[in-house]
């Protein structure tokens, strides 16, 4: 009796296998896009330039010599609209105070932070450290390169004011 | 010990399965591509894009749904004729006016036919239009932003069904009434329903697309009191003409199911819109009363405005010759579709046993030779045999709509026999047929009603779902089915559910639409009078019992986030500006007890909510859209004091 049942079950299984064959086995091992994981906190993989001047579209050293008041004016307006919701010149707010930003950062670094904040907080050890401290990641405000340059001019002008 | 009795029955089980396999092949796979082949064709790998946008009418949802084709993924819903609480469309102060009509605010609509704008007879990806049947309207959606930017009401229309079909350069958008109604002054309209034949009229409306992209109701053509059902414009050689199906040429006003199905033939109205437009430009016809509104998003401040109109130019075929001809067509025709070369006019005679195909060339010849079999209200009726190119035999039961693949084939839905039938535009022979599940209404091939279809996929838009998905109680989403039409035989690839009832759909190659997408609104270009562009400008201003709160959002706080001095009985306007300037960083806003939807603010955008506080206390408000790791911190408080309190307005952040 048990054998009979086994036989019936066996034949059913075989039939199911045939049926499954109809369905067509799902393709195994579809290509998966390899995601580059960047988890390390160190500076490995960064060039000396990137360590000092940040990662982003600005790949040459920007210097601020003679303050250009036209640029300062433009930078100040932009700063008010795009940055001041989180940054103040004289005090810490959502983000760090910026009146003395060039004590620790180069103008190029600041421009890359403005233009590539997502990349910076993922890959640059200094930016990562800042995120850990301030918790709110800096949003990308989609500024043009020369707009970021104008903001650097403005921040340089207030830094000079503070110094005086 | 009962088992032996069942033994023979048990042995029978595998036998039955094997037998049915042999007899019928793999179960449920008639018409199907093999699972593997189908899966490969509809598989869009994570992070990759679909090849086509599919725009499906939301039907009685009043909206338009956007799908990726071939994956069938639902990627967005565009609010059009109904309020959408998800993003505040039709609730917030900036968009409320979009749903204004001559009947007042209407929160819902019955959307029907999406139609992409065209240039040189090809979808150009600038706009997509959709009609509303119940409170007759036509909407225009800007495909840079996927926002409804204009809605035009149609006067002297009982229901805007045969709409909004565009001419080959989007010169005009058509809108014809489904229900004929009495027109004119109130005295002319207050008539007995059974005086239908004497008093009821239809209108075919032509909306002009103006140079600045706005819609203008240019003229209406007065037509006999039939029901006008669907339309398509001519193209190529037939450019300058539009075709409208009509039924109920019996002019019945009750039990149409029987009384409007008596005549052997009804009509396709062939309209020479170029001629009609000339008449209108010459000031011909007469100006008739007709209240309607035009709502539009002001390009300057992005706030919806309403413009009111009270009259419209009406052209009467009894007085103006050569505008319109009737093509006799069996039998209560539904869809009318024009072949990609512009020569064949195909009707879905829903009660007919054949698909009649008219020839545009023969039609113009017949008009020239005045081969008329009669005249109705100044409209010459052409002889059926003079205009017929041929009839498709055995097209299935209940043919409704036809689209084209650009390779010489037409595809027609057969509602009653639940199938799509492929036939040759050359021989009119049926080449292939495929079952759909169940009862397809419209069908869509990307570009399938244009001069250059992308003839790769076909979507059947089924009216009945039944057992296709996991059951969800009595109410079921409608089912759409994706069919591969790239080979000789049609192959069913995919089922996917759709919202509301998708009457018609449109498809377009994705790259045409993708290239001009707006990702955020630039703050510098935000001209909303209540916008504040930095925290420094935020303020709370009392004006009598109105209080205006000018507030900003950015990850991850509101400014101001503490407000005092609000009183019970105040009317508080929250004007929020999202200071973000990056793609996909909206913020939401709501306040406890608000009698409206949330606000959803796209980056750089300003939106306004009205709140009338009813209770004394401290009321929280918060961001509704998870915006950053500190989203749960994005909150604030409003102190509400009694109506007679003397707490002064005060506010701040941090």
Give pLDDT tens digits for B499-554.
Answer: 999 999 999 999 999 999 999 999 999 999 999 999 999 999 999 999 999 999 99
Q: How confident is the model at residue B204 (pLDDT cuts 50, 70, 90)?
A: very high
Q: Pick the closest to residue A120 from A89, A95, A97, A103 (CA basis).
A: A95
Strand partners, B461: B480
> Pick from B290, B332, B328: which is nearest to B312 by CA?
B290
Position B42 in a domain: no
* Contacts with B368 (C-beta within 8 Å, 6 or more apart), sequence order: none
Q: Which residues are B214's β-sheet partners?
A: none
Q: How many CA atoms lie within 13 A of A32 on its CB side?
A: 6
Check if A37 contacts B (Cβ < 8 Å). Answer: no
Which band of pLDDT confidence, cut at 50, 70 and 90, is reported for residue B629?
confident
Phi, psi dihedrals of residue B414, rounded to the nearest 5°: -120, 110
Contacts of B520 in chain A (CB under 8 A): 142
Residue B581 contacts A, CB cutoff 8 Å: yes
pLDDT one-digit tens code per residue, B336-365: 999 999 999 999 888 888 999 999 999 999
CA dist., res. B95 & res. B79, Å (int): 11
Q: Is the pLDDT reported for residue B185 higher than 50? A: yes
Q: Say if residue B35's pLDDT is above 90.
A: no
B109-137 pLDDT per residue, tens: 999 999 999 999 999 999 999 999 999 99
Identify the band that residue B628 occupies on the pLDDT scale cut at 50, 70 and 90.
Answer: confident
Tokens of B508: 């377009």
In a domain, B40, yes or no: no
Average pLDDT over residues B37-57: 96
Tell me if B401 is assigned to some domain. Answer: yes
Q: Would the CB atoms of B581 and A142 count as touching at under 8 Å?
A: yes
Q: What's the confidence (pLDDT) of residue A7?
A: 56
B326 & B470 share domain: yes
Which pLDDT band holds residue B471 (cuts at 50, 70, 90)?
Answer: very high
How remote is the C-alpha of B128 from its chain's centroid? 8
For the cut 50, the answer to whether the pLDDT of residue A30 exceeds it is: no
User: What percent of chain B is modeled with pLDDT above 90?
Assistant: 91
What is the fold of A48-163? Answer: Cytochrome Bc1 Complex; Chain D, domain 2 (1.10.760)
Q: Give A21's pLDDT tier (boundaries 50, 70, 90).
A: very low
Does the pLDDT value for residue A19 go beyond 90? no
Residue of A nearest to B554 (CA): A85
Q: State residue B184's pLDDT score.
A: 87
Q: Indicate whether B362 and B385 sit together in one domain.
A: yes
B132 lies in the same domain as B232: yes
Cβ–Cβ of B629/A86 closer than 8 Å? no
**CA dist., res. A132 & res. B409, Å (int):** 63
**Number of domain units in chain B:** 3
**Residue B94 · residue B601 · CB < 8 Å:** no
Domain boundary among B485, B514, B543: B514
Q: Are residues B411 and B467 in the same domain?
A: yes
Give the pLDDT of residue B127.
98
| B104 close to A (CB below 8 A) | no
Q: Is the dihedral of CA B409, B413, B414, B420 positive or negative?
A: positive
Decide if A72 contacts A154 (C-beta within 8 A). yes
Mean local confidence (pLDDT), B67-95: 98
Average pLDDT score, chain B = 94
Q: Is residue B47 part of a domain?
A: no
* DSSP secondary structure string for all residues of A58-79: --S-----S--HHHHHHHHHHI
d(CA B79, CA B64): 7
* B47 pLDDT more than 60: yes
When the pLDDT of each residue in chain A is averaged and rounded to a whole number, the result is 81
pTM of the model: 0.89
Shared domain for B500 and B543, answered yes or no, is no
Among A134, A139, A147, A150, the residue to mutate for chain B (most B Cβ within 10 A): A139
Residue B472 and residue B364 share a domain:
yes
**Alpha-carbon distance B459 to B318, whole Å?**
42
Task: Kindly state the average pLDDT of the residues B420-424.
Answer: 98
User: Does the pLDDT of residue B97 top 50, yes or no?
Assistant: yes
What is d(CA B334, CA B227) in angstroms, rounded to the nearest whole number?
10
Residues B352 and B214 in one domain: yes
Structural domain ending residue among the three candidates B514, B542, B568: B514
How far is the alpha carbon of A103 from chain B, nearest alpha carbon, in Å?
Answer: 26
Q: In this structure, what are the phi and psi dihedrals at residue B628, rounded to the nearest 5 degrees? A: -165, 180
Q: What is the pLDDT of residue B352?
A: 86
Q: Are residues B307 and B270 in the same domain?
A: yes
Residue pointed to by tokens 């505040």: B88
| Same structural domain, B397 and B439 | yes
CB contact under 8 A, A24 and B523: no
Same domain for B414 and B442, yes or no, is yes
> Which neighbouring-strand residues pair with B329?
B266
Which of A105, A120, A110 lies closest to A149 in space, CA to CA? A110
| DSSP H/E element including B198 | helix B196-199
Strands B304-315 and B215-224: parallel
What was the pLDDT predicted at A45?
A: 87
End position of a domain, from candidates B514, B542, B576 = B514
Strand B111-119: give its sheet, edge to edge: B111-119, B122-132, B137-142, B147-153, B286-297, B304-315, B215-224, B201-209, B172-177, B160-162
B294 closest CA partner among B156, B94, B161, B154: B154
State residue B26's pLDDT score.
46
Q: Is B26 on the interface with A (CB under 8 A)?
A: yes
* Whether B36 and A4 lie within 8 Å, measured CB to CB: no
- Measured CA to CA, the distance from residue B372 to residue B547 in angstroms comes to 70
Question: Looking at chain B, which residue has its C-alpha nearest residue A92?
Answer: B654
Task: Specify whether B302 is located in the same domain as B368.
Answer: yes
Q: Could you count the other beta carbons within 10 Å of the beta carbon of residue B483?
A: 22
Chain B: residue whose CA lies nearest to A27: B36
- Among the partner-chain residues A31, A135, A139, the one whose CB lies closest to the CB of B554 is A139
The CATH number covering residue B374 comes to 2.130.10.10
Which residues of chain A have a CB within 8 Å of the CB of B12? Answer: none
Nearest one of B364, B328, B355 to B237, comparing CA atoms = B364
Interface contact A132, partner B, CB < 8 A: no
Q: Which of B47, B582, B630 sits opposite A136 (nearest CB)?
A: B630
The number of residues in chain A equals 164
Average pLDDT over residues B407-429: 97
Q: Count of CB atoms within 10 A of residue A28's CB?
A: 5
Full domain range(s) for residue B175: 52-514
Domain-embedded: residue B637: yes
**What's the complex ipTM?**
0.75
Residue B12's pLDDT is: 53
B12 and B139: one domain? no
């Amino acid at each position: 009796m048990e054998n009979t049942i086994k036989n019936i079950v066996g034949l059913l299984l075989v039939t199911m296998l045939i049926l499954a064959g109809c369905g067509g086995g799902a393709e195994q091992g579809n290509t998966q896009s390899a995601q580059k994981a960047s988890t390390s906190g160190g500076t490995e993989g960064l060039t000396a330039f990137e360590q000092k001047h940040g990662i982003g579209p600005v790949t040459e050293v920007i210097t601020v010599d003679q303050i250009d008041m036209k640029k300062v004016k433009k930078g100040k307006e932009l700063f008010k609209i795009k940055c001041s919701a989180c940054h103040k010149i004289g005090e810490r707010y959502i983000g760090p105070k910026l009146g003395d930003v060039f004590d620790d950062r180069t103008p190029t670094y600041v421009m890359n932070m403005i233009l590539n904040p997502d990349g910076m907080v993922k890959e640059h050890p200094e930016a990562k450290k800042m995120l850990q401290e301030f918790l709110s990641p800096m949003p990308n405000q989609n500024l043009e390169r020369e707009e970021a340059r104008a903001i650097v001019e403005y921040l340089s002008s207030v830094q000079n004011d503070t110094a005086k | 010990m009962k088992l032996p009795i069942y033994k023979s029955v048990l042995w029978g089980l595998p036998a039955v399965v094997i037998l049915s396999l042999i007899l019928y092949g793999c179960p449920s796979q008639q018409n199907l591509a093999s699972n593997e082949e189908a899966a490969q064709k509809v598989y869009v790998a994570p992070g990759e894009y679909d090849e086509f946008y599919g725009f499906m009418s939301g039907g009685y949802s009043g909206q338009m749904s956007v799908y990726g084709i071939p994956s069938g993924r639902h990627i967005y819903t565009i609010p059009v004729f109904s309020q959408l609480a998800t993003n505040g469309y039709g609730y917030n102060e900036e968009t409320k006016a979009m749903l204004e009509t001559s009947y007042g605010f209407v929160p819902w609509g019955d959307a029907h036919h999406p139609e992409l704008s065209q240039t040189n007879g090809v979808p150009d990806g600038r706009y997509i239009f959709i009609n509303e049947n119940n409170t007759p309207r036509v909407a225009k959606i800007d495909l840079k932003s996927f926002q409804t930017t204009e809605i035009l009401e149609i006067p002297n229309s009982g229901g805007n069904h045969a709409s909004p079909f565009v001419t080959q350069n989007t010169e005009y958008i058509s809108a014809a009434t489904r229900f004929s109604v009495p027109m004119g002054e109130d005295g002319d309209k207050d008539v007995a329903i059974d005086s239908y034949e004497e008093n009821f009229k239809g209108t075919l409306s032509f909306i002009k697309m103006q140079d600045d992209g706005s819609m203008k109701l240019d003229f209406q053509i007065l037509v006999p009191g039939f029901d006008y059902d669907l339309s398509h414009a001519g193209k190529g050689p037939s450019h300058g003409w539009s075709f409208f199906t009509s039924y109920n040429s019996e002019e019945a006003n009750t039990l149409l199911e029987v009384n409007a199905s008596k005549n052997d033939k009804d009509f396709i109205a062939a309209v020479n819109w170029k001629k009609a437009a000339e008449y209108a430009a010459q000031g011909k016809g007469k100006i008739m009363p007709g209240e309607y509104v035009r709502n539009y998003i002001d390009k300057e401040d992005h706030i919806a405005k309403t413009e009111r109109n009270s009259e419209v130019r009406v052209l009467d075929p009894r007085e103006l010759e050569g505008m319109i001809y009737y093509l006799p067509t069996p039998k209560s025709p539904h869809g009318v579709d024009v072949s990609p070369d512009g020569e064949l006019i195909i009707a879905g005679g829903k009660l007919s046993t054949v698909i009649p195909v008219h020839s545009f060339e023969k039609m113009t010849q017949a008009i020239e030779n005045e081969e008329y079999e009669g005249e109705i209200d100044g409209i010459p009726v052409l002889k059926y045999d003079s205009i017929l190119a041929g009839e498709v035999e055995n097209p299935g039961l209940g043919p409704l709509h036809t689209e084209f693949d650009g390779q010489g084939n037409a595809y027609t839905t057969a509602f009653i026999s639940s199938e799509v039938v492929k036939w040759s535009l050359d021989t009119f022979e049926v080449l292939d047929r495929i079952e759909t599940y169940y009862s397809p209404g419209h069908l869509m091939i990307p570009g399938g009603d244009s001069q250059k279809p992308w003839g790769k996929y076909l979507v059947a838009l089924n009216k009945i779902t039944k057992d296709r998905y996991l059951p969800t109680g009595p109410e079921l989403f409608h089912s759409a089915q994706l069919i591969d039409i790239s080979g000789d035989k049609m192959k069913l690839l995919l089922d996917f559910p759709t919202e509301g009832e998708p009457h018609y759909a449109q498809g377009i190659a994705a790259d045409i639409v993708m290239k001009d997408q707006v990702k955020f609104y630039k703050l510098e270009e935000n001209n909303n009078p209540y916008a504040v562009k930095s925290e420094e400008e935020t303020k709370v201003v009392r004006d009598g019992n109105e209080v205006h709160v000018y507030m900003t959002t950015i990850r991850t706080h509101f400014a101001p986030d503490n407000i005092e001095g609000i009183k019970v009985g105040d009317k508080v306007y929250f004007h929020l500006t999202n200071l973000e300037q990056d793609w996909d960083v909206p913020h939401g806003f709501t306040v406890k007890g608000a009698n409206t939807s949330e606000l959803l603010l796209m980056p750089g955008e300003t939106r306004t909510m009205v709140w009338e506080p009813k209770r004394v206390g401290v009321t929280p408000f918060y961001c509704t859209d998870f915006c950053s790791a500190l989203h749960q911190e994005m909150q604030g408080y409003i102190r509400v004091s009694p109506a007679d309190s003397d707490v002064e307005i005060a506010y701040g952040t941090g």
